Amino acid sequence: MLKSRVQQVRSLIPATVRYGPLYRRQLAFLMDSQWQDPAALEACQVQQLRSLLADAFRNVPHYRELSRQLSLRAEDFRELADLRQLPILTREDVRTRQEELLSEKVPPSARLRRYTGGTSGSPLGFVAEGGRTDPLERAFVARIWSWFGVRFEDPAVLLRGYALSPRVLKSGTYWQRWYPERNWFGFSSFLMTRENLPKYAAKIREINPVLISCVASDLDLLAQFWLARRLPPLPRLKAIHQSGMLMYPDQRERFEAAFGARAFSTYGQSECTVLASECECSTRYHVFPEYGITEILRHDGQPTARGEVGEVVATGFNNHALPFIRYRTGDLAAWSARPCQCGRKFPILESMEGRGQYMVVSEDGLVVSLNSILYGSHLPELKAIKRLQVHQEEPGRLRILVVPTGEFTSEVEADFVRALWNVVDGRMNFQVQRVNEIPYRAGEKFKVLVQSLDVDWWAGYRRAATGPPDGSGS
């Protein structure tokens, strides 16, 4: 009882007080900097880059040796392009050489262990900076939520892969007050079975949240149930905030139709290297320059032109314990040349193609974005499909598992295949396979593509050394 009352009192304390002075200073800075001109934002980036590199060159063994070999000092970095003097950091580097990448300045007691599985299926453990990374991250999230008209103090539903306590599970519920000092409820997406969905819906309607925070694939299960049962929209809901994967156009439509609020998407990684979000005026991603430096590079490591798709390579400012400097994210994107009517001068991504493994291979070896094929042309036939998953075992052939609606007739299927064939200019063949459901473990990111070929965005498609591709997994 005493613990509950303490939590109730803490819930009345504003986030600006509860999260400490670093959070307050950062949030005040971010609320002002979002309206600054590009020159001022770039000057801020250069200043933060110098601070990061000065720390890394002095205290991180890998970068200390690198600065000696290249005769580099932090003061040598006068503009963003100077960052290209440093080599690319890969996920494998972080996995196999982590001791060399840890800052000697940050004691073991201040190293926060973090893990990410990403969408690549290759888990990665790393370290964040205690007392610094989390307050800074919270400030950026608070600014994003302010774009939606939401505050940290507002009631929120968090639908993610939470592991609930045994006590909660024993009580027969699938949620708990995840942050007791806030009015937030964490719902486990691991337990979203057909039998449990009515309980999820009833509890969410009881909470009547202002915000739903989720991964798109998890919320999609609930949205389809909501629409099938014709449940009313949530009256207080201001925003649906999706992060962790791409949100497809048909998902956005379902979310907004089911719950009655705008669906926003944020792009970032657990490694804290790049952060971008849709704003109140657009569905394009605004890249936050105060968060880090984002490059989009071609296969040869050179910057892409506007509108040209390349790989996102990012340098994060919020973690000096294990600095991610020029880190290959595996994500694909293109810069936009169009400003946003919101008035912010942030760089904008015209397209976000997703992870590198969302690439398919044509019969002649061309590597193509599946996202562009399926959704770039706004194919009307997609509205007749509940869920789909693409499998590729050999170049030039895609097998599409389709969970159809009653509107997905033989004629619609033929139109769908013909439209896809036209999108790729005849470079691929498509086979539709109707199924009742697609195996999927709730709580994991749903894979739109199951790719069995060895595809890498930078290297292209690597055929087997001898003979044709054997279809072995990558």
Range 222-225 contact pairs with CB under 8 angstroms and sequence separation of 24 or more: 222/159, 222/192, 222/197, 222/258, 223/251, 223/254, 223/255, 223/257, 223/258, 223/259, 224/254, 224/386, 225/197, 225/198, 225/201
The enclosing domain of 425 has a CATH number of 3.30.300
Beta pairing partners, 188: 160
Which of 80-84, 167-171, 397-401 is the least confident region? 167-171
pLDDT at 6: 47
The C-alpha atoms of residue 417 and residue 409 are separated, in whole angstroms, by 12
Whether 90 has a pLDDT exceeding 50, the answer reads: yes
Residue 75 in any domain: the answer is: no
**97-155 per-position pLDDT tens digit:** 999 999 999 999 999 988 775 444 445 789 999 999 999 999 999 999 999 999 988 99
pLDDT one-digit tens code per residue, 354-363: 665 577 888 8
**Is residue 445 very low, low, confident or very high in pLDDT (cuts 50, 70, 90)?**
low
Q: How confident is the model at residue 335 (pLDDT cuts 50, 70, 90)?
A: very high
Q: Quick: pLDDT tens for 37-89.
A: 999 999 999 999 999 999 999 999 999 999 999 999 999 999 999 999 999 99
Task: Pick from 14-18, 41-45, 425-429, 452-456 the range whose average pLDDT is largest.
Answer: 41-45
Instruction: Tell me how far apart the alpha carbons of residues 21 and 35 are, in angstroms, rounded to a whole number.
Output: 23
Counted domains in the chain: 1
Q: Distance between CA atoms of 402 and 140, rounded to whole angstroms?
A: 38
pLDDT digits (tens, 9 = 90+) for 379-398: 888 878 888 899 999 999 99
The pLDDT of residue 384 is: 86
DSSP 258-302: HHSSEEEEEEE-TT-S-EEE--TT-SSEEE-TTTEEEEEE-TTSP
> Which ranges of 12-89 would DSSP assign to H, the alpha helix?
15-18, 20-33, 38-59, 61-70
Whether residue 213 has pLDDT greater than 70: yes
Return d(Cα 248, Cα 35) in angstroms, integer. Answer: 29
Taking alpha carbons only, the member of 211, 344, 215, 223 closest to residue 286 is 344
Confidence check: pLDDT of 27 > 80? yes
Would you say residue 445 lies in a domain?
Answer: yes
418 lies in which domain range? 362-461
Name the amino acid, one letter, at 471: G
Residues 6+ away with beta carbon under 8 Å from 274: 267, 268, 287, 291, 292, 294, 312, 314, 316, 329
Strand order in the sheet with 429-434: 429-434, 397-404, 385-394, 449-451
Task: Classify residue 420: in a domain, yes or no.
Answer: yes
